Amino acid sequence: MKRITLLAFLTIATISAFAQHEHHQMPKKDTVPAKDPHAGHNMPMQKDTMQMDHAGHDMGNMTHAYSLNLPMSRNGSGTSWLPDNSPMYMYMTGNDRTNFMFHGNVFIRYTSTDFTAKGSRGAAKFDAPNWFMGMMNHRVGKKGLFNATVMVSFDKLVMGGEGYPLLYQSGETWNGKPLVDRQHPHDLFAAVSVGYTHAINKDMDVYAYLGYPGEPGISAPAFMHRVSAMNNPDAPLGHHWQDATHITFGVGTLGFRYKQVKAEFSSFTGREPDENRYNFDKPLFDSYAYRVSYNPSRQWALQFSQAFVHSPEAGEPDENVTRTTASAIHTVPFRKPGSFVASTAVWGLNSKSDGHKEHSILAESNLQLQKNAVYGRYEFVEKSTHELQLEDQFGEDKFGVHAFTLGYARTLGTFWKTNVALGAQGTAHFTNSALDGLYGKNPLSGQIYLRISPAMHR
């Protein structure tokens, strides 16, 4: 298993190393004015901080959703941060006081897990994972900023209540039974939130965020909002160890920013969404979380967080979870527009009230060279026999699951500022040989897809 882990990290590192080679061809001076490939205007590139003169924007009030003094490109999911270098794939309109933005993703695809039929837990399916988000930013006076966000997903409509096939995945239920080897569909309303930020000065903000549903201050941006995962249709196997709280029915967050550091505290509902994907679950505000974020430069976004989650699973109402996460996101643009590399590393630990502890590690990278993308993801997750519904066969135990994904996507064309890309990816799984009788030895999964998404905003 050590060799598998080493191979996975070396492959991700190779993508990043190639990216750094391309990046080194760019001007080296940190304070020389350079063209921002995302916003279409000239701005100073500074080594440790980045301040923007928004009065000179030619596209209206392009600011972060929770700061008048940060770039829009730092927006992650909820109140999380991405690197300032992150490209923005979205449609946008507005004026000097109000902006409207829309972005999303649709993958029309065919998936086959364990396509060599080594085990008995594989499946095949046509489906279309999807999400759509609309956001409004509105200036209030000279120092205020109001944000409203709505995010929807039609997963349940196109794939049913049992979701899509994904070997070794676990979490949530369908027809009262735990979902295993499948990724659950997301709720129709994945986010309905409002927020208000007051700029004390250019270095300090205070803000409040309310979501029903929304996302508390825990972990890195959710996987569908990470540029490093933009071409991968699958949820991470560590989704419920890292960022499963991104759809929470009832969340309130208070935050404070000082320059490039942010601290925030959230109170939220611990119970994960129920099987009815079209309703609004009861808000309980019985859990809490804190997160500290730091963007040391335009290339990096770092965070550490903890969530104390009360009774997250309906099937285990007496079990609480302390979730601890840390992450680093790195994004480097290249000289040619539309070319960059974005990488993410996430560690997550679930400490359950019964004493069980389960770790997860994710490393993913997306190398985008204009129309062509090569991407990869490595995961290690500790899955209990309870998670995999194998207690009858193996008693109380846990298994380390390794998954390595490699994919390629090519943009076929851009129509009405919308990209259409054709892609394919394969995943190899490695785990304890005791599971070979069920899953087969090192089962392989694959898929081919057509991706429809907004083009890069320039």
For all residues of the chain together, what is the average pLDDT?
88
- pLDDT of residue 90 exceeding 50: yes
CB 433 within 8 A of CB 39: no
Query: Stretch 96-111: mean pLDDT, rounded?
Result: 96
- pLDDT of residue 232 exceeding 60: yes
Residue corresponding to tokens 């209540």: 161
CB neighbour class for 42 (10 Å; exposed up to 12, middle 13-18, buried from 19): exposed
What does the angle CA 178 – CA 179 – CA 181 come to, to the nearest 5 degrees? 140
Contacts of 304 (CB under 8 A, 6+ apart): 291, 292, 325, 326
Q: What is the pLDDT of residue 318?
A: 86
pLDDT over 90 percentage in the chain: 82
Residue 361, phi then psi, degrees to nearest 5:
-135, 135
- pLDDT of residue 2 exceeding 60: no
Query: Stretch 206-214: mean pLDDT, rounded?
Result: 98
What CATH number corresponds to the domain at position 16? Answer: 2.40.160.10
The whole-angstrom separation of Cα 143 and Cα 83 is 24
Enumerate the β-bridge partners of residue 363.
Answer: 345, 378
pLDDT tens digits for 70-82? 999 999 999 999 9
- pLDDT of residue 18 exceeding 70: no
Residue 8, phi then psi, degrees to nearest 5:
-65, -45
- pLDDT of residue 33 exceeding 60: no
Q: How confident is the model at residue 19 (pLDDT cuts 50, 70, 90)?
A: very low
- pLDDT of residue 290 exceeding 90: yes
Residue corresponding to tokens 């995302």: 38
pLDDT tens digits for 351-373? 998 888 999 999 999 999 999 99
Query: Domain limits at 388?
Result: 2-454
Q: What is the pLDDT of residue 61?
A: 61
Return the closest-CA partner of residue 375 out of 242, 220, 235, 230.
230
Dihedral sign (CA 226, 227, 230, 231): negative
Choice between 44 and 354, residue whose per-residue pLDDT is larger: 354
Q: What is the pLDDT of residue 57?
A: 36
- pLDDT of residue 192 exceeding 80: yes
Least confident among 239-243, 295-299, 413-417: 239-243
pLDDT tens digits for 151-188? 999 999 999 999 999 999 998 999 999 999 999 999 99
Dihedral sign (CA 156, 161, 164, 166): positive
Q: What is the pLDDT of residue 69?
A: 96
pTM: 0.87
Task: Please report, as a single letter, which amino acid is at residue 240.
Answer: H
- pLDDT of residue 54 exceeding 70: no
Q: How confident is the model at residue 117 (pLDDT cuts 50, 70, 90)?
A: confident
Residue corresponding to tokens 């009832």: 250
Q: CB count, 10 Å around CB of 163?
A: 23
The whole-angstrom separation of Cα 255 and Cα 422 is 40
Domain count of the fold of the chain:
1
Task: Please report, as a single letter, which amino acid is at residue 375.
Answer: Y
Return the closest-CA partner of residue 220 out of 332, 312, 130, 348.
348
Query: Stretch 264-286: mean pLDDT, rounded?
Result: 96
